[in-house]
Amino acid sequence: MRELDNIVPLNNLGLTDYHCHCDYSIDAVGTIDEYCEAALKRGLAELCFTTHWDTGPLSGDRIRIDGHEKPAVPDNLAPYVDDVLRAREKYYQRGLWVVLGLEYGWYPNCQESVIALKDRYHFDFVLCGVHELDGRCFSCEGCFPNCFPHYSVEQIVDKYVGEIVAAAETGLFNCIAHLDYLRKYGQGFYGPRLNELLLDRLISVAFPVLRSTGTALEVNTSAIRRKFDDYFPRAAIVNAARKAGIEVRYLGSDAHAPDQVGYDFDAAVALVSPWFEAWCED
C-alpha cells in the first residue's frame, strides 16, 4: 500500500502497539503483513492485532475473510487466528513479536461467549470495548444520533460507567479500551458536563473495581486523528487512574489502516512511562 512509503520511525524505538485492526475488521483496510511492515518501519517491538468482535443481540456484526464479509460466528475467526500466528513466525525473525488479540464488544451477559472464544483460540490479549448501550451504538457517526437523545447526560454517564464496571467484574479482559470513548461524539452532543461527570464517576465507581480485578487501561491515540487535543482517556483520567493504583499499561493506536500503526506514540509514551521504564530495564 502506498501509505507504507510515508511511515517514519518513532524516536522511542521498541514501543508496543496493543490495539490495531487489519482488514478482518470490516471498518479497516490493509493486510496483516502490511501492518507488520508498518510496525517494523515505526521501530515497534510488538504488534497486537485486535480485530473487532461485536456480537451483541442487536449488533449483527460481520468479519471480512479474503475480501468477503461473513457472519461473526466463532468458526469464522479461525482464518484470522491462523493468519496472525503465521505472521508471528514470519516476523519474529525480523525483530517484531506479533500478538494474537481480540477487541470484544461488550454487551450484558456475554461472559459465556467470551469464555468459549478464549478456550477455543487461546488469545494472548483480550481487549474490552464498550461501544453500545441498551443495544444502541454510540461510537459510529451514523449511529450516535439514535442513542444520545434517549438519555440525559447524567443517565448516559451512569449507564456507560456501569457497563465498564460490569465488564471488569468478570475478570475476563486484560484491558478496557479507550476508557472515556463516550466523549468521541458525546462531547459535542452533551457539552463539557459530560467530561466532568465521566471523571467523577470513573474515579468513584469504576476505579475501585478496575484495581481490585487487575484490569488495565490503555492510552488510545486515535483521539488525535479525530481532532481531539488529547487521547482516550484524557490526561486527567489517566493521572487519576495511576494515582488510584490502576495500571495504565498499554499504548494503542486503534489503527484501521497500516500508516496509523504507532500513531503519536512518541508523545503518548509519557503517559505510560513507569511501565515503559521498567520494561526497558529488563
Query: Which positions of the chain have pLDDT values less than 70?
Result: 1-2, 59-60, 273-282
What are residue 217's phi and psi, to 5 degrees? -120, 160
Write down the pLDDT at residue 48: 98
The whole-angstrom separation of Cα 79 and Cα 32 is 12
Determine the number of helices (DSSP H) and then strands (DSSP E) in the chain: 11, 11
Write down the pLDDT at residue 273: 54
Among residues 151, 137, 146, the alpha carbon closest in space to that of 105 is found at: 137
- Residue at grid coordinates 447524567: 154
Cα angle 224, 184, 257 (rounded to 5 degrees) comes to 50
The whole-angstrom separation of Cα 199 and Cα 206 is 10
The whole-angstrom separation of Cα 60 and Cα 175 is 24
Instruction: Please state the pTM of the whole predicted model.
Output: 0.94
Write down the pLDDT at residue 100: 98
Write down the pLDDT at residue 2: 57
Write down the pLDDT at residue 57: 81
Give the torsion through C-alpha atoms of 177, 146, 56, 156, to 10 deg.
50
The whole-angstrom separation of Cα 250 and Cα 15 is 10
What single-letter amino acid sits at 109? Answer: N
Write down the pLDDT at residue 280: 39
Write down the pLDDT at residue 60: 67
Among residues 151, 26, 150, 164, the alpha carbon closest in space to that of 108 is found at: 164
Tell me if 215 sits within 8 A of 168, measured CB to CB: yes
Among residues 238, 239, 241, 268, the alpha carbon closest in space to that of 253 is found at: 268
